[in-house]
Structure 1
Amino acid sequence: MFDSSRSRAYHCSSDSHNQTIASHCFELVKRAQPQFNICGLESSYTLDKSVPNIEDRVTKAIPQELLYACRFWADHIEAGKCAPALVEQLQDFLSMRLLLWMEVLNLNQQMESGTECMRMMIKWCDQLEAHPELVKLARNAQQFVEAFASNPVSQSTPHIYVSMLTFWPKSAPIAKHYAKYARGPVHAEGMALEQRQLAHLATWAFAKGIGSMTMSHDGLYIALAVDRDVLVVDSSSGRVTLGPLKGHPNVVQWITFSLDGTRVVAGSTNYDTYYATILGWDTRTGKTVLGPLQLDGHTNSIQCLSFSPDCTCIATGSEDKSVYLWNTENGEMLHHLGIQDPVSATAFSPNGIQIAAVFAKSLQIWDRNTGDTTLGPITTPVQAYFISFSPDNSCIIYGSNESIYIHALDGQSEDTILRPVEGYTYGINCIGCSSNGRYIVSGSGERTVCLWDAQNGNLLLGPLEAHMGWVNSVAFSPDGACIISACGAGLVCTWDARQRNLTFSPNNASLDGITCVKFSSDGTRFVSGSEVGTICIWDTHTGGMVIGPIKAHTSRINAVDFLNNYVVSGSEDGNICVCNAPKGAVVVGPLEILPNRKVQAIAYSPDGKQIATGSDDEVDLWDAHTGTRVLSPLTGLQGSVMSIQFSPDGSWIVGGSQEYGNNIATWNVSDGKSLCQILDGHSHWVLSVSYSPNGALIASGSYDWTIIIWDAYTGKRALSPLIGHSDYVRSVHFSPCGTRLVSGSTNGTIRIWDVQTGEMVFELLNGHESFIISVAYSPDGARILSHSYDMSVRIHDARSPEERALSQSECEVGDWTIDKDGWVVDDRGRLLVWVPGILRKALMWSNTQVMVAPQGYVRLRFDKSRMGESWANVFSSDS
C-alpha cells in the first residue's frame, strides 16, 4: 500500500497521512475546552491522588481522542518528516497550548510520554533554522516539561501554574508567553531567581545518606546505596521501583548493575575489618541471587572495591599494599597483586581485560586474567584518590582533591589537567566520563558538580549547586544528555549536560566563606569575617552590604566583635585588627600578638578600652587603642579557648575551652585572678559561653550536646543541664531581658529556652541546610542572627509561632515549613507552593527577615495570591 509503483491509484503516502494526523492532533488540542483546568480541580492544596474520584473525573473530562493527540503528535511529525510544514501549528501549540497539554498528560499519568515528545521535537530543531525564536521556545519548553515531570511537583496538576510558572525565569521564552495570563500567582522575589541554573532538572530526597550511586547501562534505572540497603529508582522520576534490598551487615559503599541490567550487585566493608561482603539481587524480583560472599584475605583495611563490567570479577585494594582479584560467583581469590604502598583506588577497563590502581604517587595496570603488569608502575604528579578508564580504553583518568589528570595510554600525548574552580575550599571526591569520552563530570566536597571538556580541560558547566552534603557519586546517562549526582545528605540531583555556563558568575568575595558574624551595638548592622581575611558590614534590615570588603588580614578570620563604630577581628595567623566601621578603614594593626598561634575568640570590653583574645590554653587582655598587653596571660584553661565574653559591667571575663575537664573559667579583669573554675559539669569540650545581661548567670554550650546555666559568682549549676539538642551545641546567647536563651547546634537546629525553668520554649524554624556556627539575639531582643556552615547568614523574628500568630490577620498565611520533596506546607498540612531544589537553599522561611548568602535569596509572598480553592482564577488564557 505504501509502494506507489505497486498500489498505484490505491497508494497511501505515509508522510502525507502522518502530516495530516499530526495537524489534526494540534487542532484537537486547540479546540479542547476548557483550555485551563480541564478537569475542574477545586483546590491546589492537595495532591491529585487525594482528589475524590479523580480517575472518573479524568475519564469524563478528557476524551480518548484528545489523549491520543497529546500522546502521539510528535510521533506523527517524526514519521511524516513534516516539521517544517507544521511550523505555524507548532508555534501555536508551544506558545498557547503547552500547559493544557501538560494537564492532560499529567492527569492521565502520562508525563513520561510528554518528555519523549519533547525529546523528539528537539531532534527536528535543525530543520527549523529559519525560525530561531521557535527553536528557542522549543528548547525552553523541553526544559520546562522535563523539570515538571521529573520532580514531585507533578503530583499536583494545579502546580503547573501555581508553582512552575512562579519560579520559571522571567526572561525565559515559556515565562514570556504564559506569565502574562497569570492572575494573582504566588509572588517570588530575590536575586537567586535571576541566578537560577537552568541546568538543574530535579532533586530527589531520601531518608538517609547516599554512599554510592550507579546508573543501569540502558539509562532507565539508578541504584542507590542508602545506609545498609540498596534502592533502585526510575531515572526519570526518582520513584523507587525496587527495594529496599537488605542483607548487608555494614554501610554499602560500592554498587553496580550487570551489563544486561538483570542484577544489581553491592559491596560493603567496615574500616576496622579486613574483608568485604558482596550481595547481588535480581532487579525484577528483588530476590537475592548472589551471596552474601565474604572476600577474606587482606591483612589491613580495604580502601576501595570495583566491579568488572560483566560483574564476574571484583577488585579490592587495601592498606596492606595489595590488590586482590576475586571470582564474583564463589568468592575465590584469583590473583594477589602486590605493590609498594597502600592502595587508594582501583578501576576495570571498559572491556574488563585490565585492572588499574593508584597508590602513593604511582599508577599501575595489570592484565586481569594473568595478573601480569602491562603498565608501570609510573610516577604521577599527585597522590591520586580516584581512577577511571576512558570509554574507548585510550586514557586513564585519575586525580587528587585538587586536580584531575587525563593520561593517554599511547605514551605519546601529554596529560590534560583539569583543575577545580578557584575559591573552592574542598576538593574533588568523584568523577565520571561520558560515553563518547568528550566530557568529564566531577563531584566535590564543596557540594558542587562540574562538567569539563576532556580534550582541553576547560570548565563547561558549573559549579552546579543543589546538594546539601559532599557529592560522592556522579554519572552520565548513556546518551550523555543528563548528569546524575548523589550526596551523603540523601539527595540525588539530575542536570542537563547540554547546558553551558551562561548564568553562572563567580561567587562574590564578600559573601563566599563567611566564618564569623556579630551584631552591632545598636542592632542596625552586623559584621562578618571571611576565609580570605576580609571584613564586611551589612544592613540588618535590607541585607545589603554597606561597608567593605575591608582587607584586614592575610589569613582566615576566626572571630569578630562589634562595639559602637569599631570592629575588632582575630585571625588564624595570630593577628588582631581594629577597623573603623563608618570609614571602612583599619585603624589598629594588623598586630601579631600571638606568633605561631591562632586567635580563636575575641571580645570588646563594654567600655571599649580593652580587647580579650582566646587562643591555646590562655586568654589575653590588650589595650584596644595601642594593641599592647594589659595583663599577663590568664591561665587555668586547657586546650583551645573557643569562646570568651566580658561580664556586663566589664569586671570579669569568662572563657570556655576544648578540654574534657577544667573547661570553663572566670577571671577578674583588674588583677587576672580566677574567681572559680567550673569543674563539675560538661563531659566534653565547651564551645560557647555567654553572660546574662545582669551578670548573675553564665550559659555554656558543649560538645556533649547539653547546655548548662551557672551561677556566675559561685560556679555552681543554677539549673539541671538543658537537654534537647541531638548534636554538639555550637553557640549560646542570652536575650537582652535575660529571660530566654538561644542555642544553635551542629544538627542544624536553633532552640529557645526559658532561663528560669530550663524548659524549651520553641524550636526556631531557620531554613539552614547545615550545622549552625553561631546564634545571637539582637540588642532589642526582637531578632536572632544565625550563621551556618551552608555559608548563609539569616536574621529571624525572635517570637514564637504563637506570638507571631497573634499579630497576623485570619486571611494571612501563617508560619510554614518546607518538606523533603520541596513542598511549602502550612500548619494545616496544605500545599502552598512547590520550590525547585536549586532554590531551596536560598529560600527565606516565613520567620526569616533578612538573608545574606552567595546564592542570593528567594522570598515568598502569599498575601495577594490565589491559591487553594481560589486557584482556578490564577490563569486566564486568551485562546
Structure 2
Amino acid sequence: MDSVELIGGDPIGDFDGFDESGGYEVRNERRRKRVDKGCLSSLRTRVSSAPSDAPFPTRVAVVIDALDECTDNAAVSIILKSLALYIGKLVPLKFLITSRPEENIARGFLLQSLDENTHKLALNKIPEDLTKRDITVFLQSRLAAIGENFDLGASWPAPQRLENLVGLSELLFIFAALAARYIEDQAEMDPEGRLTSLLNTGNAVAAKRGSTASPFPILDALYIQVLDAAARKLGPIPKSQLKLVLGTIVLAEQRLSPTTLDVLLGLSSGTVRRVLLVLSAILIIPDRKDDTTPIGIIHLSFPNFLVDPTRCTDQSFLVRPRIQHSHIASRCLATMKTLKYNILGLEIVSEHDRVLNSEITDLPARLSRNIPAALEYACRYWTRHLFEAEVCEDLLTALEEFCKCHILHWLEALSLLGCVDGAVEDLQLVQTFLKASIFQRFYCWQICDTYSTVNPQTQSLRATDVPSLLYDCERAIRAFYPVISSSAMHMYPTIALFSPLETPIRRLAAANAPPSLVVRVGLENTWSDTLVSRVIDRRFISALAFSPDGIYVACAKDNGTIQLLNAHTGAVLQIFESHSDEDIEAISFSPTGKELLSGSDDRTVNLWDVATGANLNTWKAHSDWVRSVAWSLDGTLAASGSDDDTVRVWRTASPEKMVVLQHGDWVRNVVFAQDGDLLSGSRDKTCKVWDTRSIEWDTETAIEPIRTLEHDSEVFRVAVSSDSRLVACGLYNGDIVLWTKSDGQRVRSLTGQGEVISLAFYPNGLLAAAYEDSPITLWDASTGARVKSAGNVGARAAAFASDGVHIAHATKDQSHIHLWPSELKQNTTRTTSIAGKLEQLAGYTSVEDRELLRNPLASFIAAATSPTRKLVLAVYGGELRVYETSTGRCMRTIEHSSGKNASPAWPPTGRLFACTGKDHDVHVWKADTGELVASFAGHSESITGVVFTRDEQHVLSALWDGTIHRGTIGQNGQQSSSEILFQSDGDPILTFAVSSDEKWILSASYRRKSPPDTSSADLLAPPSRQPVKDYDGDYNTLRLHNANTGRVVWIEHHPCISSVAFSEDCTRALAGNYDGEVFLYDLTQVIPPDPSVPRSPPPLAVPEHKLGVRQTQFIRGLSFSPNGKAVITDRAYTSIPSELQPLHTDPTDRSLTAIFFYEDDWLWHVNLDSDPRRLCWIPPLFRPHAENRTESLSSASGQSIAYISVQGSLVVMDRVSVC
C-alpha cells in the first residue's frame, strides 16, 4: 500500500447520506482520494451540523485496515495527527484501525488526545481458543457456501475433515483464507479433490514438523501446492514467465496493474493477466476492462515465502532478489528510453514560454498521456532496484546510456510528477551501487568531495562521465531544488546557467535547452563546499539542529515557528507552530530523532513529535527567556537553561517533577556528557558540572555542582568529548578553553575571533567551533592546532552533524548546509582543456581574476553600477574595485578606508565616480585612470548620500546632521571645503535626489522629538498628512528644496522613507519606504512645467497616489523608467496609470531597451513596451546583495546584467540569442 486512501467518488466528509443499514458505501466508482486533515475536518463539520431531517447516525464504524502497509509515512502521520485533533468532535464515529506496531504508528498513538480515546488490542494476546473458534466459524461458513455452490450436500465437509483443516491452520487466518480460495477454484471445479489434496499434504508436513527451518511449514506447503497446481495449467512459455511476473510483483515498490506490468516487463499485451489467472487463490486480479487497479496479494506472507529459500524449497518458484532486482532495473532503464526533453509537448518558442508546473494547463491529463504508469514507476523506483541488483555488464551499459542521454529527462519527469524530494537519496544509492560493485574494475572514477577516487593509472579500460553525471545531478538537485521541483522547463536553463563551468551536466543541460543568458563572471570551476542554501520565509533564523541521522535540520525562527528541513534539499517537511511569536532560542533532537525540544523567549519549553509536528507537552517552569535545551544520551533526562539564572532537569518519563540547579547569572548553554553528567555555561563566567545520577527527585534539597570551571569571560557554549574526558567552553570573547572534566584541570585555550555560537566534539577528538563573524574552525583538541576552516559570513546560528562532515549555519533569513573543505580537489583532467577553450571564446575571466573577485562578505559594504552599465564600483572595507561588466575584469583597485556606511555614486556619463570615507569626506576619481580629482571636507557627521549634478561640475552630499552640502569639482585632486545648501535642526537626512535640471532637491529626513514646523510662509503647499511616528517613535519628513538656495518649498509627513526620485521632466516625484510601498506625487502645482506661465494659486496639498508595487522589503533604489510609464525599484517593475505618468518624455531616449529586476527569487525581464516576464530563477548565493545601490539590474544595451551577490562577489550575466 503506497498511501492512506479512501476508495470512492467523494471524500469521506462530503457524502450525501447513508444506506438503509446505516452504512456509507464509499466504493461506488473506485476513484481514489487521499485522506488528509481537511478530510477529517470536513467530516467533523458534517457530524456537528447534520440537518434535523437527515440526522447523523448514532453509531458509525470507520475501518482503516493494514495501516502498517502504507509506505507513505507522511500520510500515516497526517491521519494520526488528524485523528488526534478531531477525535473528541467525532463522537458518533468508531474507528477500527488494524496495524502491526510499527514505530511511527505506535508513536502516533502516544499523542495525548488519541491515547486517551483508544482501546488497544494486541492480537498476540488473544486467547488461542478464541482464535481457533473464529477460524472454525470462518471455515464453516466458507466451505458451506462452496458445498452449496457445487451441490455437495449439506453435510459437506465431514466434521472431522473440517476439524483437521482448522488444526492445520496453526491459528493463522491467512491459511484459512488461502485454503478456502484454493478449494473453491472455479477453473479446477473439484472442491472435494482439492480439500483431500490439501489435507494430505498438510498432514504429511505436520508429521515432519521440526525437520524444516520454516516457522510456517504447513502454510508454506500450501503455497507450493497452489503454485504447482497453477503451473501445471500453463504451457512452456507462460510457465517460464510466471516466475518473472511473480518476482516483479513481490519485489515491486508499489502494486502494479496487469497492463502496467506488461509494459514494464516488455511483454505482449495481456500476458500478465493470462499467466496470473491460474493464481486466483493467492492474487486478486482486476477485471479485464480495468487497466488501472493494481494486482492484490491476499497476504504479505506470500512475498516473504517466495524470497526465502528456507520456506520456498521448490527452485522453480523461488525468487532470488538480487537477480530479480537486476532484471527490474534493466527493464526500468529500458522503459525510460522513451523520456525526452519537454515530454509533455509544451509550446516553447522563447524563454518566456517556460512556465511553472502549476501553470501548465491540464497537467494531470498531459501526464497521463505522456508519462503512463509503467514509465512513472520506472522513474520513481529504478534507483532502488539498481541498488539491490546483481551487477552485470549489460546493466552497467544500460546505466551509462541512461546517464549520458536521459538523466536530465528523468529529473524533468520527477519534477512534473511532483516527486523530486527523494532524488538526492536515489542518486546516492546509485553511486553507492557503483562504488561497491565490480564497476570499479572497468571505469576511471571521477567522484569528488566525499566519494573516494580510484587512480586512473590503475585502470585499463575506457573513461566515462557516468560518475560525474550522477554526482553533478545530485549537486544540482541540492543547489537548485526550488526551481527543479516547481518548474521542469526552467530546470534546464538553470542547470546550464549556474552549474560550475567544468561539470558535464552543465553541457548536457545546455544541449537540451540552450539558456538565453550566460554567466560571464561569478561561476566556480567545480562545485563548492556549499551543498544547500535556502531562504524559506524571510524570517530571521535563531537556532539550528541536525537530527542524529543527519537527514533533517530543524530551523527555529524569530516568529515562534520551527521548520523541519530535508538536509539534502532544504525542502520544508514540517512546521511546528504552537509557540507564541517570540524568538525560539534553542532546539535539540532526542537521541532517537523522534522528538524535538525547543526553548523560547516566551519562557516555555516545548516537546514536539517530529513525525507529526504535534506538540506533545509544554512546560512553563522558567520566569525568563529559555536559552538552551538538551537531552541525556539515553533520552531519559532533559534539561533547560534560562535567563532566570537556573537550569531545570526532569525525567522524560515523568516530567511533572523537576529539579532546579542554580547559577549566578543567565544560563546560556546546557549539555549532557556521555557518562550522564550535566554541564551548564553561564554569563556568570562559569561552567558547572552536575551529577545527575545522584539527584534525589523527591526532596527539595539544594543541589551543588561537583565541579565549577571558572573563566575570564561569559561562557556561551559548552561541549563534551565522546569519552566524557574533555570539556570545551566557548566564550563571549571568542576563546575556547579546554578542561579535563574529572579533575577540573585547565588544558589549553584556543584563540578565536567573535562570540562562539556553536561547539561540538567529533568522535575522533576534533573540535568544531562556529563564531559569529569569523570562519567556522576545526581544531585538534589534543594539540590546539587549527586543522581547517570553512567559510562563514555573519552567522547567527550554526550546528554540526554527527557524521563529522556536514555543517549548517544561518545568516539572517538564509540557511546553508555545507561540507568541511576537502584537501583533495576534484579530478577534472578530462574537461579542463575544453572548458579553457570555451572560456577564451566566451570572454570568461582568468582563474587569477576570478580569485580576485572572491571576497569575504564581512568586508563588502556597497556597490553601484554606472549609468552606462559598463562598470561596477564595489566598495570593500579597505579598498574600492572597479569592474568591467563585459568581462568581469577588475580594472583597478584603489586603497580607500570606506567605513561601514559608505555611499558610492556615478555621474550620468560614467566618467567619474565618488565614494565617502571614514573621515566623512567625499572623494572623486576618474573612472578610466583611477586618478583622484577632488576631495571635499567639512562634513561633521556621516554622509548618507552622494549625487553628481548632470554637468558633472558639482557633488551634492546629504549628512546625518541634517545638512546638504555642495562641492565644486576641480582637476587638481586637492582637498577643499563644500558649501552648505540646507541645514535643518539636526534632522538626519536618510536619502535625497536632484532633479534633471538641477533646480530642485528632494530629501527625506526624520526628527526624534517632534514633527517639523510647517507654518513657514515659504511653503508653496501644506502637507496632506498628519504627522505620524514610525516604528522607533520618530517623525519622517519629505522636503522639496530649491537647489540653488536650499529653501524648502514643500513638506509632506511620511512614515519611514528610504528612497526618493524625480521624473525626467520634474513633474512627478516618488517616495519609497521601509514597508516596500511607493508613493507618487504630482509636483505641477509647485514646480510649473512651463515657467513662462503665471503660477496658479497655492494648492491645498500636493496630490499623493500609492502605487501597487509588489515588494515586501524596503525600497533601496527607485526611479522612473526611461519612457516614464513605470516605476523601477531594486526588486520590482510597476506600471504607472496613464493619468499619473510624467507629462513629458523624450521619445528618442531609448538608452535602456530592456530592464531586469530581481523579485521573489526570480530574475524578471521587461521590454519597455511589454509586461514583466519571468526569465530565470536565481540561486540564493547568486542573488543580489541588499547593498547594491541601483534601481534595477538593467544595462545600456539591454543585454548585460551586473551586480554584487550576497557573497560579496561580482556577477555578470549577458543575454544571448538562442536559435
TM-score (normalizing by structure 1): 0.70
Could you tell me which of 471, 477, 499 is aligned with 1:142? 471
TM alignment of 1:262-661, pairs within 5 A: 262-270=594-602, 276-291=603-618, 293-297=619-623, 301-302=624-625, 304-309=627-632, 310=635, 312-318=637-643, 323=647, 325=649, 333-339=658-664, 341-349=665-673, 352-359=676-683, 361-368=685-692, 371-380=703-712, 383-399=714-730, 403=734, 405=736, 407=738, 409=740, 415=748, 417=750, 419=752, 429-430=757-758, 438=766, 440=768, 442=770, 444=772, 450=776, 452=778, 456-463=785-792, 471-480=795-804, 482-486=806-810, 488-489=812-813, 491-495=814-818, 505=851, 508=854, 513=859, 515=861, 528=873, 530-536=875-881, 548-553=892-897, 558-559=902-903, 570-574=916-920, 577=923, 579=925, 582-586=928-932, 614=959, 627=975, 637-638=985-986, 659-660=1007-1008
Quote the offset at 1:357 in angstroms.
0.2
Q: 1:179 to 1:547 in 2, by over 3 A?
A: closer
Quote the offset at 1:119 in angstroms.
1.7
Q: Which has the higher strand share?
A: 1
Amino acid at match of 2:708: G
Could you tell me which of 435, 444, 453 is aligned with 1:125? 435
Q: 1:278 to 1:612 in 2, by over 3 A?
A: closer
Quote the offset at 1:738 in angstroms.
1.5
Q: Does 1:857 align with 2:1208?
A: no
Residue range with higher mean Cα deviation, 163-172 or 831-840: 831-840
Per the alignment, residue 29 of structure 1 pairs with: 333
Q: Does 1:189 align with 2:519?
A: yes
Q: 1:62 to 1:14 in 2, by over 3 A?
A: same
Q: 1:432 to 1:829 in 2, by over 3 A?
A: farther
C-alpha distance in structure 1 between counterparts of 2:342 and 2:864, whole Å: 54
CA distances 1:164-202 after superposition (whole Å, capped 9, x unpaired) = 3443334202234x2464254443333234477463335
Q: Does 1:734 align with 2:1082?
A: no
Per the alignment, residue 671 of structure 1 pairs with: none
Q: 1:730 to 1:553 in 2, by over 3 A?
A: same
Are 1:525 and 1:537, in contact at CA under 8 Å, matched by a contact in 2?
no
SS at match of 2:598: strand
Residue range with higher mean Cα deviation, 6-15 or 428-437: 6-15
SS at match of 1:132: coil
What is the identity percentage for the equivalent residue pairs of Structure 1 and Structure 2? 16
C-alpha distance in structure 1 between counterparts of 2:980 and 2:768, whole Å: 57
C-alpha distance in structure 2 between counterparts of 1:159 and 1:348, whole Å: 47
Could you tell me which of 200, 208, 212 is aligned with 2:531? 200
Amino acid at match of 1:354: L
Q: 1:92 to 1:720 in 2, by over 3 A?
A: same
Q: Which has the higher helix share?
A: 2
Quote the offset at 1:552 in angstroms.
4.1
Are 1:816 and 1:845, in contact at CA under 8 Å, matched by a contact in 2?
no
Are 2:1036 and 2:1053, in contact at CA under 8 Å, matched by a contact in 1?
no
C-alpha distance in structure 2 between counterparts of 1:636 and 1:366, whole Å: 61
Per the alignment, residue 214 of structure 1 pairs with: 545
C-alpha distance in structure 1 between counterparts of 2:1028 and 2:778, whole Å: 45
Amino acid at match of 2:607: G
Quote the offset at 1:295 in angstroms.
1.8
C-alpha distance in structure 2 between counterparts of 1:568 and 1:158, whole Å: 43
Quote the offset at 1:304 in angstroms.
1.8
Are 1:202 and 1:493, in contact at CA under 8 Å, matched by a contact in 2?
yes
Q: 1:261 to 1:39 in 2, by over 3 A?
A: same
C-alpha distance in structure 1 between counterparts of 2:409 and 2:994, whole Å: 65
Are 1:527 and 1:535, in contact at CA under 8 Å, matched by a contact in 2?
no
Q: 1:517 to 1:682 in 2, by over 3 A?
A: farther
Q: 1:105 to 1:781 in 2, by over 3 A?
A: closer
Quote the offset at 1:848 in angstroms.
2.6
Amino acid at match of 1:337: Q
Could you tell me which of 143, 164, 172 is aligned with 2:503? 172
C-alpha distance in structure 2 between counterparts of 1:527 and 1:847, whole Å: 11
CA distances 1:785-829 after superposition (whole Å, capped 9, x unpaired) = 98xxxxxxx79999869999x99xxxxx99887775769799999
Are 1:355 and 1:366, in contact at CA under 8 Å, matched by a contact in 2?
yes
Whichever of the two has the greater Rg, that structure is 2
Query: Which segments of 5 or more consecutive residues in structure 1 lack a partner in the other structure?
Result: 271-275, 421-425, 667-673, 688-701, 787-793, 808-812, 866-879
Per the alignment, residue 230 of structure 2 pairs with: none
Query: Which segments of 5 or more consecutive residues in structure 2 lack a partner in the other structure?
Result: 1-305, 348-352, 449-465, 696-702, 826-846, 1085-1101, 1148-1152, 1196-1200
Are 1:159 and 1:833, in contact at CA under 8 Å, matched by a contact in 2?
yes
CA distances 1:475-529 after superposition (whole Å, capped 9, x unpaired) = 345545544444542x444445686796995755699855467788x96888857
Per the alignment, residue 177 of structure 2 pairs with: none
Q: How many residues align?
A: 797
C-alpha distance in structure 2 between counterparts of 1:52 and 1:601, whole Å: 49
Q: 1:655 to 1:440 in 2, by over 3 A?
A: same
C-alpha distance in structure 2 between counterparts of 1:63 and 1:778, whole Å: 49
Per the alignment, residue 1181 of structure 2 pairs with: 838
TM alignment of 1:670-685, pairs within 5 A: none
Q: 1:37 to 1:205 in 2, by over 3 A?
A: same
C-alpha distance in structure 2 between counterparts of 1:590 and 1:845, whole Å: 26
User: Pairwise CA RMSD of aligned residues?
Assistant: 6.0
CA distances 1:32-90 after superposition (whole Å, capped 9, x unpaired) = 55241595353675555666775676566556666665566555555556378955444
C-alpha distance in structure 2 between counterparts of 1:621 and 1:823, whole Å: 37
Q: 1:705 to 1:131 in 2, by over 3 A?
A: farther
Quote the offset at 1:334 in angstroms.
1.3
Per the alignment, residue 115 of structure 1 pairs with: 424
Q: With a CA cutoff of 8 Å and minimum separation of 6, indicate the structure with the bigger relative contact order.
A: 1
TM-score (normalizing by structure 2): 0.53
